Structure 1
Amino acid sequence: MILVGLTGGVATGKSTVARMFEQCGAVVISADVLAREVVRPRASAWREIVAEFGRSILKSDHTIDRKGLGDIVFRNPRKRRKLERIVHPRVARLQASMTRQAAKHNRHAVVVYEVPLLFEAGVDRRVDRIVVVTAPRSTQIARLKTRDGLPRSESLRRIDSQFSMDRKVARADAVLNGAAPLPALRAQVRKLYRQLLGLA
């Protein structure tokens, strides 16, 4: 089995690449999906987050308003670190359990762990290979405006809250162009998947 960390900047195309890996046959685990799981209402992480940030960050169904919470933590690095200390260890345990299950099912599995904060959270130390998805800053800003309705200033704040793209690329084993036309990107992913399958 091989565990691949898939990362990149905000809105560079990580989720699109993850779906393409899945179509190739990889087992894909999403850190965002796991994060939503660990903060479900009444879970221990949910209780800690509510205690730290107040009930104003809850929706009417008691789920966490991710956009509202994001607006808070992306403006305050101290609060962002506090949130990460609550969520990241729980996500890591869940990911490790899912990876073990994938390996038990297929000892030659290619497991792709899609995690935006791979370097920032130290996940890079737990994976066998690192794939970074890149896109020009202008593309990131345009996608954040279209996808999340964010103004340029807020988009830049979120982009700059992560490691720079140059820093990520320098530590990558493979780099994919998330701004490429979809057929070209799919071809990049298929080629890389075959290489990873050989290593697995």
Structure 2
Amino acid sequence: MICSAAMMLVGLTGGVATGKSTIAKMFRQCGAIVIDADELARDVVQPGKPAWREIVMAFGRGILHPDSTIDRHALGAIVFRDKKNLRRLERIIHPRVARQQVKLAKQAEKRNPHAVVIYDVPLLFEAGIDKRVDKIIVVTADRETQIARLRKRNGLSRSEALRRIRNQLPLTKKRRLANYILDGTRDRRRLAREVFKLFKDLRPLG
């Protein structure tokens, strides 16, 4: 835990395309402060920033759009086919994202010492972030749902979707490490009720 005993820092994770973003929005509607790791990652790799320069040096200018922003699809095609490349990219991005997350959590605590801060982070366990949060929520979905969502959302083939799923820690292991588990395939209304109940349980007294 990196903040005071009053503030609750909760890691929200799961597998790719299990429904984390939907659940994060529900927590925000309940009054939680949500920090999105993907948004932080997009920010730290903006053109000209140190991480952007390191990524271009590592993977070449072929992963850039004409406006010099990173083509996530092109970069993903490289790193998700080779775990060494994926780890190389993570070493560039993860420390910078971690610093931003700590900064934002401290700002949230100053505004409200009794806040519930949800850190929406896909690689919570893989990056060792589980050691820096108070509680862990894992969002699950069956494999076929993950594949279907990835194919629709990212335009991936079935084999590409499976490759991305397999590059993460298996959901069975994440479930065992969770304090709470939410099923990201459930009816939205039922899921919203579960999120609201969990938010009340997480909210510190103050």
TM-score interval, normalised by the smaller of the two chains:
over 0.9
Q: Of 78, 88, 96, which aligns to 2:102?
A: 96
TM-score (norm 2): 0.96
Q: Of 49, 73, 81, which aligns to 1:75?
A: 81
**CA distance in structure 2 between the partners assigned to 1:2 and 1:36 by the alignment:** 25
Q: Which runs of 5+ in 1 are unaligned?
A: none
Matched residue of 1:121: which SS?
Answer: coil
Matched residue of 2:203: which SS?
Answer: helix
Structure 1 counterpart of 2:105, one-letter code: T
CA shift at 1:198, angstroms?
A: 3.8
In the other structure, the counterpart of 1:182 is 188
Kept in 1, the 8 Å contact 2:116–2:204? The answer is no
In the other structure, the counterpart of 2:142 is 136
Q: Of 151, 160, 171, which aligns to 2:157?
A: 151
**CA distance in structure 2 between the partners assigned to 1:185 and 1:151 by the alignment:** 29
**CA distance in structure 1 between the partners assigned to 2:104 and 2:53 by the alignment:** 24
**CA distance in structure 2 between the partners assigned to 1:68 and 1:26 by the alignment:** 34
Matched residue of 2:137: which SS?
Answer: strand
In the other structure, the counterpart of 1:21 is 27
Q: Which runs of 5+ in 2 are unaligned?
A: 1-6
Structure 2 counterpart of 1:105, one-letter code: R
Matched residue of 2:24: which SS?
Answer: helix
**CA distance in structure 1 between the partners assigned to 2:83 and 2:160 by the alignment:** 14
**CA distance in structure 2 between the partners assigned to 1:64 and 1:135 by the alignment:** 29
In the other structure, the counterpart of 1:191 is 197
TM-score (norm 1): 0.99
CA shift at 1:151, angstroms?
A: 1.0
CA shift at 1:67, angstroms?
A: 1.1
Instruction: Indicate the percent of aligned positions where both proteins have the same amino acid.
Output: 60
Kept in 1, the 8 Å contact 2:150–2:156? The answer is yes
CA offsets per residue over residues 120-155 of structure 1, 9 Å max, x none? 000101000000000000100111111111111011
Matched residue of 2:92: which SS?
Answer: helix
Matched residue of 1:5: which SS?
Answer: strand
Kept in 2, the 8 Å contact 1:2–1:199? The answer is no
**CA distance in structure 1 between the partners assigned to 2:54 and 2:156 by the alignment:** 28
Kept in 2, the 8 Å contact 1:26–1:112? The answer is yes
In the other structure, the counterpart of 1:32 is 38
2:11 is aligned with 1:5:
yes
**CA distance in structure 1 between the partners assigned to 2:205 and 2:166 by the alignment:** 34
**CA distance in structure 2 between the partners assigned to 1:167 and 1:16 by the alignment:** 22
Alignment CA distance shift 1:199-1:88 (3 Å) = farther
CA shift at 1:199, angstroms?
A: 6.0
Structure 2 counterpart of 1:8, one-letter code: G
- How well do the aligned residues superpose, as a CA RMSD in angstroms? 0.8
CA offsets per residue over residues 71-103 of structure 1, 9 Å max, x none? 110000000000000000000000000000000
Runs of 4+ in 1 over 4 A off after TM superposition: none
